[in-house]
């Protein structure tokens, strides 16, 4: 060291661990510079080495002094080279079952660290997961603050993590049929356990699903609580076979059977298989959507039944009614060709079709039409007759005549017995109408009164029967006249004078008298309602002469009845006047 420098001491030793403790002995070296006087634990100039192995805390100090002063250094060394002591250990939870552990278990324990030492930092145990043993132990490890550790076995405990071995199963009864069970059966399982021992096995009641073979799941457990699962093989079928039937022929018509049909049955079974089926049957009724039934048995002793639907109709339909294409034309009568359709009823297969026709005669108040129907099973009904009123022939109207009188026209006609009504139309009509229906009824005549003399009237007569058949109109003309109509009253006439009057019913002759002034000029008894009178002449042997021109004359007519000799006259038919012009 240079003269006059401060005496600095240097220290050399291993780095102190983070815990502050060394776990083995170390050497501490103080170097005192030359020219300085050592002190403390230092005893010489230069290197002063001190081995340290003592447990616990060791303190070393060194001084160096010269004329410039004194330097002092000290070192604390802590040494713990002794491992702690494990004082005990055990599982951190109680046994799982019956004093046995059956799943991995954590262990814990305690310990101490000898003094002087660094002190106990802590202890931990491992997690035990095997092997199985009646005297299993785990490991407890303790560590002190210097990092020294020690391990020791925990106290012994029982550990069994392995389930029992299922060795077999037995059934509560013998198989029901052919090695098959067909209803619920108890199954008892057996097993072995080589450590904790067998605690027990399940008794399982098996009721399906069906299978051949099926597996019955079961289980056992040991004393330590470990389960074991397994299965037993079983032929099990609790389901009857599926049964279907088929007719021995196809339907007779439209999917329907109209006569007895045989039905055979077959089955299917997905487990034990079909053993047998019932024999065929013959279906013969009742009508309707019937069914035939049969059964089958399987090898497990189950029985199944089934039915096949039989649309069956062995009964013919009946004709119920007829329907006309239109309503009757009049009063329940048809007067021209009419379409007729028949309807029917059938309680089984139903009606497929019914006949139809067009009736166009002969005329008959009780015309007969006959129809039939067929059902869907192919049966035809018995024919059935219905009645309808048919008349396509107009009635008869003939010999239409018009007889006239004083302000009336008497119309007469002949009609057939089937006439229901007669209509008379007149032109001109009533009340200023161009034409009017003046009569509607069933008589064979009509008297049109209150009409104008010497006016021309046209009458049209037609007849209709109940069926509304109409005759062709027949026309008759009429011109009403006064009882003595020629010469007209007050007329100026020239000779010979033609006298005309209306005939009187049942009259066989007439008495005509001509009076001029107060004198009867002539009289005559003509047989017809007409007489031509010259200016001069004889009637009934008497001579006469008509008066001079311009003289007012009056003439009278009486009807006579029977023989002329009887002189039996009726009331005065009429009287009128005239004047001669030359």
pLDDT along the chain (582 residues), means of 10: 79 94 95 94 94 94 94 95 93 95 95 91 94 95 94 94 94 94 95 93 93 92 94 94 94 94 94 92 93 94 94 96 96 96 95 96 96 95 96 96 93 96 97 96 95 95 96 96 93 94 95 93 95 90 88 96 94 95 80
Do residues 142 and 206 both lie within one domain? no
* Token duo for residue 362: 């002969």
Are 186 and 108 found together in one domain?
no
Range of the domain at 353: 318-388
Cis, bond preceding 487 (omega within 30 deg of 0): yes
Q: What is the model's pLDDT at position 4? A: 73
pLDDT of residue 259: 95
DSSP assigned state of 455: -
In a domain, 106, yes or no: yes
Does a structural domain hold residue 54?
yes
Confidence (pLDDT) at 212: 85
**Domain limit, last residue, from 196, 219, 236:** 236
Q: Is the same domain home to 502 and 554?
A: yes
**Within a domain: residue 264?**
no
Cα–Cα distance, 322 to 238 (Å, whole number): 60
Q: H or E stretch including 573?
A: none
Is residue 502 domain-shared with residue 573, that is, in the same domain? yes
Q: Is residue 141 part of a domain?
A: yes
413: domain CATH number is 2.60.40.10
Going by C-beta distance under 8 Å and a sequence separation of 6 or more, which residues neighbour residue 520? 513, 514
Return the pLDDT at 3. 56
**Can you read off the two tokens belonging to residue 573?**
């038919």
Distance (Å, rounded) from C-alpha 476 to C-alpha 478?
7
Answer for the pair 160, 222: CB distance below 8 angstroms, yes or no. yes
Residue 272, in any domain of the structure: no
Total domains in the fold of the chain: 6
Same structural domain for residues 494 and 571?
Answer: yes
Residues near 180 by beta carbon (within 8 Å), at least 6 away in sequence: 212, 235, 236, 237, 271, 272, 299, 300, 301
**How distant, in Å, are the alpha carbons of 17, 431, 472 from that of 26?**
12, 165, 162
Question: What are the angstrom distances between the C-alpha of 398 and each of 189, 404, 441, 463?
Answer: 120, 19, 16, 10
Whether residues 425 and 469 share a domain: the answer is yes
Question: Are residues 125 and 105 part of one domain?
Answer: yes
Residue 298 counted as domain residue:
no
| 407 and 334 part of one domain | no
Phi, psi (degrees; rounded to nearest 5) at 472: -70, 140
Domain boundary among 478, 506, 528: 478
Where among 478, 506, 535 does a domain terminate?
Answer: 478
0.75 exceeded by the pTM?
no
pLDDT at 539: 82
């Amino acid at each position: 060291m240079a003269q006059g420098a401060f005496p600095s001491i240097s220290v050399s030793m291993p780095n102190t661990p983070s815990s502050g403790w060394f776990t083995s002995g170390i050497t501490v070296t103080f170097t005192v510079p030359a020219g300085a006087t050592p002190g403390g634990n230092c005893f010489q100039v230069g290197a002063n080495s001190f081995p340290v192995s003592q447990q616990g805390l060791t303190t070393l100090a060194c001084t160096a002094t010269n004329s410039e002063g004194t330097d002092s250094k000290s070192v604390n060394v802590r040494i713990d080279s002794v491992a702690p002591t494990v004082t005990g250990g055990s599982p951190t939870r109680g046994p799982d079952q019956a004093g046995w552990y059956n799943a991995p278990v954590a262990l814990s324990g305690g310990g101490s660290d000898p003094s002087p030492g660094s002190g106990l930092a802590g202890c931990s145990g491992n997690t035990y997961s095997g092997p199985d043993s009646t005297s299993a132990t785990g490991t407890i490890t303790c560590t002190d603050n210097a990092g020294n550790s020690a391990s020791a076995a925990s106290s012994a405990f029982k550990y069994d993590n392995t389930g029992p071995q299922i060795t077999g199963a037995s059934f509560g009864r013998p198989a029901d049929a052919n090695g098959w069970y067909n209803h619920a059966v108890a199954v008892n399982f057996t097993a072995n356990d080589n450590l904790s021992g067998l605690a027990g096995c399940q008794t399982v009641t098996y009721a399906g699903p069906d299978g051949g073979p099926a597996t019955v799941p079961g289980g056992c457990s040991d004393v330590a609580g470990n389960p074991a699962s397994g299965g037993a093989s079983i032929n099990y079928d609790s389901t009857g076979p599926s049964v279907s039937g088929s007719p021995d022929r196809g339907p007779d018509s439209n999917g329907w059977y109209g006569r007895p049909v045989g039905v055979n049955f077959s089955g299917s079974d997905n487990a034990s298989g079909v053993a047998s089926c019932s024999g065929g049957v013959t279906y013969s009724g009742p009508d309707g959507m019937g069914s035939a039934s049969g059964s089958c048995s399987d090898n497990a002793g189950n029985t199944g039944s089934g039915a096949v639907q039989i649309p069956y109709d062995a009964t013919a339909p009946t004709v119920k009614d007829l329907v006309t294409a239109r309503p009757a034309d009049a009063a329940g009568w048809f007067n021209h060709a009419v379409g007729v359709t028949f309807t029917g009823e059938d309680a089984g297969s139903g009606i497929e079709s019914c006949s139809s026709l067009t009736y166009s005669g002969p005329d008959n108040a009780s015309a007969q039409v006959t129809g039939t129907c067929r059902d869907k099973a192919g049966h035809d009904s018995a024919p059935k007759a219905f009645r309808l009123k048919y008349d396509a022939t107009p009635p008869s109207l003939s010999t239409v005549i018009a007889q006239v009188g004083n302000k009336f026209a008497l119309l007469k006609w002949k009609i057939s017995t089937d006439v229901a009504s007669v209509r008379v139309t007149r032109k001109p009509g009533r009340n200023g109408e161009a034409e009017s229906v003046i009569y509607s009824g069933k008589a064979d005549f009509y008297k049109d009164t209150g009409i104008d003399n010497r006016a021309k009237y046209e009458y049209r007569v037609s007849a209709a029967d109940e069926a509304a058949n109409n005759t062709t109109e027949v026309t008759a003309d009429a011109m009403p006249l006064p009882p003595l109509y020629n010469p007209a009253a007050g007329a100026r006439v020239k000779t010979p004078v033609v006298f005309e009057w209306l005939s009187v019913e049942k009259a066989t002759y007439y008495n005509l008298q001509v009076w001029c002034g107060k004198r009867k000029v002539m009289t005559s008894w003509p047989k017809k309602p007409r007489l031509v009178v010259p200016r001069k002449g004889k009637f009934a042997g008497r001579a006469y002469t008509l008066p001079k021109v311009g003289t007012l004359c009056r003439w009278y007519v009486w009807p006579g009845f029977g023989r002329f000799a009887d002189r039996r006259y009726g009331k005065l038919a009429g009287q009128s006047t005239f004047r001669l012009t030359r």
